[in-house]
Structures are given as C-alpha cells and as structure tokens.
C-alpha cells in the first residue's frame, strides 16, 4: 500500500493545514509521491479556509494553503490512510477513542518523529499572536522532515 498521511488537530484551520503543507513541501523536495490531507476532530470549521495567519506563514515559506478546506475526521480515514498524525496529545486521545476496530492506520504524534520531542504536542497558536504561527510552522517542518525520513526508511 502506498503511504498516505492525514494530519489532525482540533479545527483543521491552523496546525494541521500547516503540517500538511510542510509535509507536502518536504515530500516533493525528496521526490516522494504520498497522498496527504488534513482534518480536525471537531467539525465547526468544516468548509472554511485555514486561518489567515496560518496562510500568511505558509506563504512566507513558499506554500499557498488558501485553497485548503477544513473537514472533520471520518471513520473511513482510519482505513484510507497509512498514517494518522495528531498535532497534540488531546487530539491523539480523541483519535484513539474514535478509532474503529478494523482500522489499519498507524496513530502517532507529529513530534514523535523529532529527536528529543517524543510525546510532545505542537502548541495551538489560534488564541495567540502571529509569532505563535511561526513556532507552529517550525514544529511542522521538523515533524515533516522526520516523518518523511521514517516513511522512506520503510519503503
């Protein structure tokens, strides 16, 4: 089965779209063809574009995410994707509870792929200022690099 990754945060307008963008950029840089998407455990932003601050930080790093649309995690995602990557421990717990018995996706935290950051969460920048989105982007890039390396090692 070809690798596929779903990044998940709470509302799918800040952290998970940035992780999706950083991962797409890293996979493309390495020449890997991997299906990538993002979703939220909650559905209140479904159909919305990412937060304007998330769009701005991605754009500064050469990635346009304004076309992304938020969606909520579906049970079929646990069979469709090989990896479901939570951005924090709370969302990982929600995904673990939601996970159907026939799920095939590996559940993990994004920062589990970063040396010295195993078990750590990516901070939610939503209620903070623009600087928080820069930190989130840095974490997303570090996690994306680690996850691409992990996937490459298992091909």
Q: Give the per-residue pLDDT at 94.
A: 98
Task: Copy the structure tokens of residue 142.
Answer: 């570090």
DSSP 8-state code for residue 59: H
DSSP 8-state code for residue 72: B
Output the domain CATH number for residue 112: 3.40.50.2300
Q: How far apart are CA 3 and CA 123, in angstroms?
A: 26
Torsions phi, psi for 6 (to 5 deg):
-120, 120
Domain span at residue 52? 4-153
Inform me whether the pLDDT recorded for 108 exceeds 80.
Answer: yes
Inform me whether the pLDDT recorded for 114 exceeds 80.
Answer: yes
Looking at the structure of the chain, the number of domains it has is: 1
What are the tens digits of pLDDT across the range 36-72?
999 999 999 999 999 999 999 999 999 999 999 999 9
Q: How confident is residue 17, by pLDDT bands cut at 50, 70 and 90? A: very high
CB burial class (10 A; 0-12, 13-18, 19+) of residue 132? middle
Residues annotated as catalytic are: 9, 15, 124
């Amino acid at each position: 089965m070809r690798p596929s990754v779903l990044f998940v945060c709470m509302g799918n307008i800040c952290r998970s779209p940035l992780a999706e963008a950083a991962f797409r950029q890293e996979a493309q840089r390495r020449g890997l063809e991997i299906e990538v998407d993002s979703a939220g455990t909650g559905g209140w932003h479904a159909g919305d574009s990412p937060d304007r601050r998330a769009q701005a930080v991605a754009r500064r790093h050469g990635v346009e995410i304004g076309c992304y649309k938020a969606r909520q995690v579906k049970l079929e995602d646990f069979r469709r994707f090989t990896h479901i990557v939570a951005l924090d421990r709370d969302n990982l717990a929600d995904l673990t509870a939601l996970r159907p018995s026939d799920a095939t996706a590996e559940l993990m935290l994004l920062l589990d792929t970063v040396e010295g950051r195993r078990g750590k969460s990516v901070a939610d920048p939503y209620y903070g200022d623009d600087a928080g989105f820069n930190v989130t982007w840095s974490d997303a890039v570090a996690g994306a690099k680690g996850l691409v390396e992990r996937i490459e090692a298992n091909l």
